[in-house]
Structure 1
Amino acid sequence: MRNSFLITICLFLFSHLLSAAEVDTALTYSKSMKKNIKAVVIKPDSYTTGKSFPVVYLLHGAGGNYAEWAKKVPGIKNLADQYQFIIVCPDGNVTSWYFDSPVDSEWKYETYVAKELVSYIDEHYKTIAGKKGRAITGLSMGGHGALYLAIKHQDVYGAVGSMSGGVDLKPFPNGWNISKRLGTQDEFPERWKQNSVIDMIYQIKPGALAIAIECGTEDFFYKMNIRLHDELSYNNIPHDFTARPGVHNWDYWANAIKFQSVFLSNYFNAKP
């Protein structure tokens, strides 16, 4: 009897391991930048079934790369299983800020993430290929990037999140190589404004995006996130805003992605 029980437990654990989320490294090609770029793709445990899945594009911060989320927060595989969505982690080339640089034609990360990568994922994976099945979120530079891309491509993404997002570029004229992507702020002040999320919210169409923003109360980006929340509220743009104790680090983001996943899953599962 005891042996039979142990065999049953072992078979259960073995089957669970077989059905756990699978992590791929996809090698994609960017026509706009004429180079190969890697992305992590996490498929949920039920991926082998015949159904299609929504996709969450999860962006890294400045100094990171496509593999950082999976390495720093391996628990995101469990989130793919729990909420039954595909997670895609693009590469933002350390400090691209996820826009197309008007200074350097070799930096077209808006085109890559919002168009080329989305097309690749829809062609190679079983996705719900439409904005109702597509969301984007990220941390720090990636929080800015997620909001930036969602606002500029409201036909591509239906939901967007930001964790500790650097949502206003203007206070950091010498930070994170932004001037290499936009030119100096002294020389091109309007360009810096046009590419700062906090100055782009007027472009959000009514009902076009489900929005969730959060930031730690001790984060150096906290005050600008409060301003973004206030601006969204003043302009009657529905959104979720959460402030909880925390600083700009992986402990905060490992927790934050759990709340983001709930929000994005609710969006995917909401009835029309």
Structure 2
Amino acid sequence: MKIRLTFLLMLAAFFTAQAAQVDTVLVKSTAMGKAIKTVVIQPENSKSKNLPTLYLLHGYSGNYANWVDKVPKIKELVDKLEMIVVCPDGGYGSWYWDIPNDKNYQYETFVSKELVDFVESNYAVAKDRSKRGITGLSMGGHGALYLAIKHQDTFAAAGSTAGGVDIRPFPNNWEMAKRLGPYHEQQESWNSHTVMEMTHLIKPNSLSLFIDCGTEDFFYKVNLKLHEKMTYLNIPHRFLTMPGAHNWDYWSKSILYQMMFFHDFFYQPAKK
């Protein structure tokens, strides 16, 4: 369902700005045998001991500090929307996959298991899936949907902003052939690692989904195709398009919509 949210709702998040606490921590990954830098943004003076957690992934060639450095207003959103935001380092061109026989690229296991365990052992967050969400930009947008679909027992809501939601039209880009092999030789592997071919795995009423993309983005067509496919398959989701290209100017705007979506999901009235 294509949506247009009002900025009046967004502006409410900025009244009486506070100063969220930002920590950079090292999270041990047993799967990769190394510690992964991760930014954790916590609301200031929150009274809740069971905050929801939003895992927020960076894009290709990015790092753990991208979101808080490029979009500092995210700290105000964390304060006002009452959630913890966790930004792990996803490596260079990992696409958040586990690559067989490559210990340096086990990012699916790290984010979906090791990182979640660390956060829930060290922070005052809720420990049930209804309070866990995941989203990201570009490579991280694909990664968020990929991980949420594969781990529906862990995440209850997922988003993507300007995500590379179908990797197959880009067989020579962004290190993907190094991870999966050449597309013309490893088509089955590429199909199993692209969100576009994973929609059949989404269980009914399992995931709350929100996808957005700028109309001038080179990923716009694949996002539109994913929206059309989900609509055809009656997979509930929200889809938003706005003017914008594949850059931080667009992402700094879209994060407002993304975080409002997750806030509404986390704090929806309990079903009777």
Q: Normalising by structure 1, what TM-score?
A: 0.91
Q: State the 1:51 CA deviation.
A: 2.1
What's 2:75 paired with? Answer: 77
Q: Following superposition of structure 1 onto structure 2, how do residues 174-253 of structure 1 map, counting pairs within 5 Å?
A: 174-253=172-251
Q: State the 1:187 CA deviation.
A: 1.6
Q: State the 1:105 CA deviation.
A: 3.2
Q: Deviations over 1:202-234 (max 9, x none)?
A: 000000000000000010000000000001001
Q: State the 1:46 CA deviation.
A: 2.5
Residues 80 and 87 of structure 1 are in contact (CA less than 8 Å); yes or no, is this contact kept in structure 2?
yes
1:149 to 144, 147, 150: 147
Helix, strand or coil at the partner of 2:133: strand
Q: State the 1:183 CA deviation.
A: 1.4
2: CA distance, partners of 1:81 / 1:190: 44
Q: What are the ranges of 5 or more consecutive residues in structure 1 without an aligned counterpart?
A: 1-15
Q: State the 1:45 CA deviation.
A: 1.4
For these two proteins, the number of residue pairs brought into alignment is 255
Q: Deviations over 1:24-51 (max 9, x none)?
A: 011110000000111000000133x352
Residue identity in the other structure for 2:40: V
What's 2:112 paired with? Answer: 114
Q: State the 1:258 CA deviation.
A: 0.2
2: CA distance, partners of 1:94 / 1:68: 13
Q: Deviations over 1:226-272 (max 9, x none)?
A: 00000100110000001111000001000000001111001001123
2:131 to 121, 133, 152: 133
2: CA distance, partners of 1:73 / 1:269: 24
What's 1:12 paired with? Answer: none
Residues 104 and 181 of structure 1 are in contact (CA less than 8 Å); yes or no, is this contact kept in structure 2?
no
Residues 103 and 180 of structure 1 are in contact (CA less than 8 Å); yes or no, is this contact kept in structure 2?
no
2:257 to 242, 256, 259: 259
Helix, strand or coil at the partner of 1:87: strand
2: CA distance, partners of 1:103 / 1:245: 42
Distance 1:99 1:228, change over 3 A: same
What's 2:44 paired with? Answer: 45
Q: Deviations over 1:64-107 (max 9, x none)?
A: 00011111001110110010000000111021000101352321
Percentage of identical aligned residues: 52
Helix, strand or coil at the partner of 1:40: strand
Is 1:56 the counterpart of 2:54? The answer is: yes
What's 1:123 paired with? Answer: 121
Question: Structure 1: which 4+ aligned runs deviate by more than 6 Å?
Answer: none
